[in-house]
Amino acid sequence: MRLHLLIRSAALLVIAAAPLALRAQFQDPTPEELKMTSDPKAPGAPAVYLYREEITEGANGLSTIYARIKVLTEKGKELASVEVPFLRGAAKVEKVEGRTIRPDGTIVPLNVKPEELVVAKGKHFQVDSIAFTLPDVEVGSILEYRLHIRFKDEAPLPSWELQTSYFIHKEHFFFDSGQMMSAAIGGIAAVTTPSDSPVKMQYKKSQSTVDLADVPQAPDEDWMPPTNTIRWRVEFFYTHADSIDHYWKRELNEWIYGLKDFIEPTGAIKKAAASLVSPDDTDEQKARKLYAAVMKLDNTDFSREKSEAERKKDKLKEILGADDVWKNQAGNGNQLALLYVALARAAGLKSWPMWIANRDREIFNSAYLSTSQLDDSLAIVSLGGKEIFLDPGQKDCPFGLLEWTHSLAGGIRDSATGPRIGQSPAMTYKQNAANYIAGLTVDADGNMQGSARVLLNGSDALHWRQQALENDVEEVKKQFIEDLEGDLPEGVTATFDHFVGLDDYESNLMAIVNLSGSIGTPTGKRMILPGLFFETRAKHPFVAQDKRTTPIDVHFPRLESDDVVYHLPPGYTVESAPHTADVTWPGSALLRINSAAKEDQLEVGRTFARNFTLLGPQDYSNLHDFYLKLAAADQQQIVLSRAAPPKGN
Amino acid sequence: MKSAFCLRMHLVSVLSAALLAGAAVPAHAGLFGKDSPVPQWGLDAAKTPTPANIGDASAVILFDEYVEAIDGQGRAVEREREAIRILKPQARHEFCAVSYDVDEKINYFREWTLAADGKTFQAKDTDFVDVGAGEEDAVRDIPILLQTEKTRIVRPPAEDVGATILCESEELMAPWKREKVWNIQEGRFVYEALEIDLPPGSQFAESWHRYQPVKPVEDAPNHWRWEIKDMPRLDLRDVKASPAWDALAARMSVRWGDLAADGRDNQWRALGEWIEQLETNRPSPSPEISAKAQELTAGSSDFFAKLTAITAYIQKNIRYFVIERGIGGYQAHFASDIYRNRYGDCKDKTTLLISMLQAVGIRAHYLQVDSDRGVVDPDSPSLYSDHMITAIEIPSGFKDPRLQAVVTAKDGMRYLIFDPTDERTPVGNLPSYLQGGYGLLATGPSSQVIELPVLDPSANGSERSGKFTLAADGTLSGSVDTLNFGPQGAELRQFLKFTDEKERREYWESMVARDLPGVVLDSFQFVEPDSLAKPLEFHFKVTAHQYAHMAGPLLLVRPRVLGSAARYFDDKPRKVPFDLEATGRWHNSFDIALPTGYVVDETPDPVDLDMDFASYHASVTAKDNVLHYERTYTVRQVELPADRAADFRKFESTILSDEKGTAVLRKQ
């Protein structure tokens, strides 16, 4: 990651000149380009960008986009359709030029007026898009188009996505911020991500340029972390600071100052806290009681935020501070998290707010000097000298657990020593456990009747509890069964019986499920049963792919344990049970399988623990190897032998 | 898999759905959101008690009334009043919406909420938003860019469980619309009504789909009203192998002006004439089209050769792309424009095909169909459908076994049915999703509804053979060769068209991994995927570690290495037919060379099941240390009635049992 300040002061801004940018012109194709049927630099690619350009003249309020594309396969034709959204009123697409160059070199100009379509329109805004498709496109065509976007005032700061789903031979990105009035009070800076990208920005006064050649297709793999850590990108932003430390020092102070009125315990908050805790309570008891009280409030992220008219009619106060949240007995997730901090402080606890970038959207980047990357608020409380991160804004999240997008999440926080950049802790596998316990009675035809108890805590339990906040319980049951049936053996039907603990977020959640169907395959002398009942159709990741280029994000660590008792049909004995397995990837994962046969039953146990959240591509080989063993072990079968019929007299 | 299809050409009215919930952001309704008292109709509707038999419905529609006021020119103003009670938390995202296009206008749109606690609210300007059709269609993953239709959505205030939402809107409909389709099963209705107010002397025609016709009451001169009470919701969520929702849901169509006629056949005729009139001159060949058609067919000796040359050209060269502005939802562009730009939607592709065929002396016609079988109902004349294909006149006496998708109309004329939007099904064959459905053949005065053919199983399917070697550690490795015929080959070709090498590998690996967990796709190759005249060849090599499982001295191996034909089945009472998707014949033949030192101890029993709608034959044999699995699966019908549920279960459970069958190898 590199941070560059383009303009350090208003004085510099005035000095910076804005020469007219040079823009790419439509080019005659070379014979090589016309003949090209594939690209050795992008084997199998459906299309490649021969050239891609984006030029933004900030002060002039003009942005031009240019592309020159070679279509190599049928799929590549999709690049002939272009749609560019813009904010109506703030910008308009002034001019669109386009043409298709056939493989024989003849040119078909875009002669249909691009259509301006409404994307979304409200009272205070209208987002339109300009859309067109180039004519007469065939495999081998070269597509060329240019759009001129005119902004009413200055152009907004650009955000350059330097990688696309297609290989790019050359690209040129240019931004001239010269004399932008919007930068008068501070400056404009840029950050390139990810930190190991080869993107090198060239600077000349107020001008920033990126020229790249042979840009690979943007990676797209399963279980990737957010793309801001993967795709090459340049983000421009306004800043008042001339260094990262300077920026965050000032921003942190402003953040805390802005929150002061919200979280500073008022008389009402002190009164509320006093009514919730007892002076004899330990700090942890206080912390838990206050947490429980906040959890009881209406979390409008999970119910519904009231409209202005409703608030007026219900005489609800506009929320300006924690006491308003308490008075309304309602707030959104962020407001409730801050209320918790206020209540904790009022109860004499050391507590601080934290503002994080949600890990499913973005990984916090301190070199990107913008709080726009931050999403949700957490509360931190110190208990016995140890900091506990809490998630009061997540309805039904147990004390001490973080909703997964809030774990391992970077952001800014307050602390005993003042505000600073920080990160929330990772979860452990023990915090996210799923235990499947089943008893199955199999008859001589291979049919089965049984029931299962599914015991969940942590993230899995939170998921279903939050589903129950937004749906009635019958709907949640249906969703649970749909989720479960995907892993059960084919021919098995699950019907939901009941939940235990759905309303008690501090307890384990238990789902009772009835099972029936055909699981045994009789042969002449034997019957074959699935060895790991709950894993028969489990779709293990990281098995098919033997190489990996991007990091892996499995969201959270997890512990799974299965305990299945098969009651055997009369006259059958266990000939072979799943092998004992003990596969360990030290420190990261383990799998244990064991089985024990008694006279008329077989018990099969399985434990799988995944003790990681994020891995680098260098870890993939070990990960792949472990999951291969896991997938193979989960496919084991049980062989039952039919006893010979008793001899007659 | 359907390839590409046109926008549903339904006359969109007010809907209540959660589809666009995520798109609703604060916005405005302009003058539509002015404060006004709760209307009496709404107060009356809100008094309706929630019925006891609501099933799984999360909301109940207490009252829903459309009034279509038709003026002397046939133009309608549609008013809808709707009262919805929220019963469950998941219904809090319900909203009212009105769709409109460039030639339509929303006169007003208001919403009131009667909250559970008795308070009343009215939606403000900021509770309304307009969303472009592109946003809606993005949800459906259809490659549409240029569509001018928009939807105005209101996000009701105080939308909590127990609240009653009241919506009223009035819209000036497009001047060319002459039909109102009344979807009467979109929710759990307590009461719903449709009124049509016609100018003196005007006629109307009505038709009903999957509902016993209701007699209208003439409230005033030429003002008719239909009422329905206690309509259950059609919920297919837990119904496997079901026909499409639209095919099963009850609806009514009422038509006026030129579309009103007496009797079923006359009504279809009127609709066909309307289509033909709408497309008048659209297919007229330009000199460039004529020249291209002549060039393509130069040297073609007969009807089929000419036909193939032109259909293949359109399939290969005309890119699928939708441009719809107002009536463009029904009316094609001119053939000359389509030819020049080389893109278009289903109507456009049909138009260009008719044009090019006309240039070489072959007559062809518009055939309006739906991409879901059963939506077009021969007993319910309507324009309700979403796709346009082509009916090509076959010269008298011409016969060719390659012409499989042939229909004989009432007048004895034979037509070849062809879908030019499906870029990969060769002329003569027909995509499976169209087979067994109905379509409106637009041939002027002889316009009629026709049944699309169900092709013989030999027209679709695959031949798959595999040769594998099993190692003593359970590793299976080998090669698989497949020939894919008809629509099955077309679907594969379509997949190849829209994917790159990486996506194909990932897709096939995940497909094969369903049967072979941990599989590595060593190589794969498609042979001449663009050659529509030949079956699509697909060859691949795999290695699957621990495919066979050690069990003491035994080694357990599943002879059915790859591919599954089994469908999900359950024991629930069945009320709707089973959609069998496609006729076809699928044949598998696998040889597994066994590891040295092992002999076959047991093999699964052979299966021979022959029913009228399908058959399944499978066997496992062992010879010379090779385990041989052979099966043939044939489907002869595309749909099975609900009362055949026992047969369906028997058939599918037999397949499932065979597919799970395990051979037991014993160490010598």
Over residues B631-668, the pLDDT tens digits come to 999 999 999 999 999 999 999 999 999 999 999 999 98
- Residue-wise pLDDT for A83-128, tens only, equals 888 888 889 998 999 999 999 999 999 987 877 777 788 878 888 8
First to last CA, chain A: 88
> Rounded to a whole number, what is the distance in Å from the CA of B142 to chain A's nearest CA?
12
> Rounded to a whole number, what is the distance in Å from the CA of A490 to chain B's nearest CA?
8
pLDDT of residue A13: 31
- Cβ separation of A83 and B145 shorter than 8 Å? yes
| B220 and B274 share one domain | no
pLDDT of residue B20: 32
- Give yes or no for B122 touching A (CB within 8 A): yes
Region B45-55: what's the mean pLDDT?
Answer: 93
Please identify, among B454, B481, B500, the residue that sits at the C-terminal boundary of a domain.
B454
CATH classification at residue B326: 3.10.620.30
Which tokens sit at A15?
């000095």
Which tokens sit at A398?
């147990």
pLDDT of residue A183: 64
Helix (H, G, I), strand (E, B) or coil at B230: strand
Which tokens sit at B561?
């290495």
H or E stretch including B512?
helix B501-513
| B237 and B376 share one domain | no
Instruction: Give the best residue of B500, B506, B524, B652 to mutate against chain A (max A CB count within 10 A).
Output: B500
Region A436-442: what's the mean pLDDT?
Answer: 98
| B230 and B194 share one domain | yes
Cross-strand partners of A100:
A108, A143
pLDDT of residue B32: 45
The minimal CB distance from A44 to the residues B500, B545, B556 is found for B500
pLDDT(B136) > 70 = no
pTM for the full model?
0.91
Which of chain A's residues have a Cβ under 8 Å away from the Cβ of B25?
120, 122
pLDDT of residue A451: 97
- Give yes or no for B603 touching A (CB within 8 A): yes
| B400 and B471 share one domain | no
Instruction: Give the best residue of B104, B660, B666, B667 to mutate against chain A (max A CB count within 10 A).
Output: B660
Residue B428 covered by a domain: yes
Give the Cα separation of B176 and B423 in Å (integer): 31
- Residue-wise pLDDT for B206-233, tens only, equals 999 999 999 999 999 999 999 999 999 9
pLDDT of residue B6: 54
| B313 and B348 share one domain | yes
Predicted confidence band of residue A2 (pLDDT cuts 50, 70, 90): very low
pLDDT of residue B351: 98
- Give yes or no for B549 touching A (CB within 8 A): yes
Please identify, among B260, B293, B318, the residue that sits at the C-terminal boundary of a domain.
B260
pLDDT(A649) > 70 = no
Predicted confidence band of residue A434 (pLDDT cuts 50, 70, 90): very high
pLDDT(B251) > 70 = yes
Region B86-104: what's the mean pLDDT?
Answer: 92
Helix (H, G, I), strand (E, B) or coil at B659: helix
Q: How many domains does chain B have?
A: 3
Domains belonging to chain A, first-starting first, are 2-240 (2.60.40.3140), 246-425 (3.10.620.30), 430-642 (2.60.120.1130)
Cross-strand partners of B584:
B635
B138 vs B198 pLDDT, higher one = B198
pLDDT(B21) > 70 = no
- Give yes or no for A430 touching B (CB within 8 A): no
The minimal CB distance from B520 to the residues A120, A493, A546 is found for A546
Instruction: Give the best residue of B101, B104, B146 to mutate against chain A (max A CB count within 10 A).
Output: B146
Nearest to B4 by CA among B133, B132, B141: B141
Instruction: Give the best residue of A79, A395, A472 to mutate against chain B (max B CB count within 10 A).
Output: A472
pLDDT of residue A644: 67
The minimal CB distance from B25 to the residues A46, A120, A525 is found for A120
The minimal CB distance from A120 to the residues B30, B126, B130 is found for B130
pLDDT(B142) > 50 = no
Dihedrals phi, psi of B283, to nearest 5 degrees: -85, 0
pLDDT(A181) > 90 = no
- Give yes or no for A598 touching B (CB within 8 A): no
| B449 and B463 share one domain | no
Which tokens sit at A559?
């512990």
Residue B505 covered by a domain: yes
- Give yes or no for A196 touching B (CB within 8 A): no
Under 8 Å CB pairs connecting chains A and B tally to 221
pLDDT(A563) > 90 = yes
- Cβ separation of B146 and A117 shorter than 8 Å? yes
Give the Cα separation of A411 and A427 in Å (integer): 17
CATH classification at residue B174: 2.60.40.3140
Q: What DSSP string runs through B343-358?
A: EE-HHHHHHHHHHHHH
Across chain A, what does the average pLDDT equal? Answer: 91
- Residue-wise pLDDT for B51-90, tens only, equals 998 888 999 999 999 999 999 999 999 999 999 999 999 9
Predicted confidence band of residue B23 (pLDDT cuts 50, 70, 90): very low
Residue B312 covered by a domain: yes
pLDDT(A56) > 90 = yes
Nearest to A76 by CA among A170, A162, A165: A165
pLDDT of residue A85: 84
Residue of chain B with shortest Cα separation from A118: B132
- Residue-wise pLDDT for B426-449, tens only, equals 999 999 999 999 999 999 999 999
- Give yes or no for B24 touching A (CB within 8 A): no
- Residue-wise pLDDT for A569-624, tens only, equals 999 999 999 989 999 999 999 999 999 998 899 999 999 999 999 999 999 999 99
Top mean pLDDT of A118-132, A496-510, B9-23 is at A496-510
* Domain span holding position B293: 267-454
| B506 and B387 share one domain | no
- Give yes or no for A312 touching B (CB within 8 A): no
Region A417-430: what's the mean pLDDT?
Answer: 96
H or E stretch including B655?
helix B645-660
> Rounded to a whole number, what is the distance in Å from the CA of B577 to chain A's nearest CA?
21
Going by C-beta distance under 8 Å and a sequence separation of 6 or more, which residues neighbour residue B179?
A: B11, B253, B254, B255, B256, B259, B382, B383
Residue B2 covered by a domain: no
A89, with CB counted inside 10 A (0-12, 13-18, 19+), is: exposed
Predicted confidence band of residue A647 (pLDDT cuts 50, 70, 90): low
Cross-strand partners of A175:
A56, A208
Going by C-beta distance under 8 Å and a sequence separation of 6 or more, which residues neighbour residue A160?
A: A54, A173, A210, A233, A234, A235
Which of chain B's residues have a Cβ under 8 Å away from the Cβ of A303?
160
Question: Which range, of A519-528, B452-461, B606-615, averages the lowest pLDDT?
Answer: A519-528
Which of chain B's residues have a Cβ under 8 Å away from the Cβ of A309?
121-122, 124, 157
Question: Which range, of A117-131, A236-250, B485-499, averages the lowest pLDDT?
Answer: A117-131
pLDDT of residue A358: 97
pLDDT(B24) > 50 = no
- Residue-wise pLDDT for B358-409, tens only, equals 999 999 999 999 999 999 999 999 999 999 999 999 999 999 999 999 999 9
Dihedrals phi, psi of A181, to nearest 5 degrees: -65, -30
- Give yes or no for A600 touching B (CB within 8 A): no
- Give yes or no for A490 touching B (CB within 8 A): yes
Which of chain A's residues have a Cβ under 8 Å away from the Cβ of B343?
133, 135, 137
Residue B3 covered by a domain: no
Residue of chain A with shortest Cα separation from B159: A304
> Rounded to a whole number, what is the distance in Å from the CA of A37 to chain B's nearest CA?
15
pLDDT(B286) > 70 = yes
B62 vs A188 pLDDT, higher one = B62
- Percentage of chain B lying above the pLDDT 90 cut: 79
| B256 and B366 share one domain | no
Question: Which range, of A210-214, A484-488, B65-69, B510-514, averages the lowest pLDDT?
Answer: B510-514
B533 vs B62 pLDDT, higher one = B62
- Give yes or no for B160 touching A (CB within 8 A): yes
B200, with CB counted inside 10 A (0-12, 13-18, 19+), is: exposed
Give the Cα separation of B387 and B369 in Å (integer): 5
Which of chain B's residues have a Cβ under 8 Å away from the Cβ of A579?
550
- Percentage of chain A lying above the pLDDT 90 cut: 72
> Rounded to a whole number, what is the distance in Å from the CA of A458 to chain B's nearest CA?
24
- Residue-wise pLDDT for A365-382, tens only, equals 998 888 999 999 999 999
Across chain B, what does the average pLDDT equal? Answer: 91
Decide: A229 and A551 in contact? Cβ < 8 Å. Answer: yes
First to last CA, chain B: 48
Please identify, among B260, B286, B316, the residue that sits at the C-terminal boundary of a domain.
B260
For the beta sheet containing A386-390, the strands, ordered from the edge strand earlier in sequence to the opposite edge, are A386-390, A376-383, A350-356, A410-413, A420-423
- Residue-wise pLDDT for A148-164, tens only, equals 999 998 899 999 999 99
| B113 and B167 share one domain | yes
- Residue-wise pLDDT for B162-179, tens only, equals 999 999 999 999 999 999
pLDDT of residue B442: 98
Q: Which residues, numbered 481 to 500 in chain B, qualify as contacts with chain A under a Cβ-Cβ cut-off of 8 Å?
A: 497-500
pLDDT(A439) > 90 = yes
| B106 and B219 share one domain | yes
| B434 and B405 share one domain | yes
pLDDT of residue B542: 94
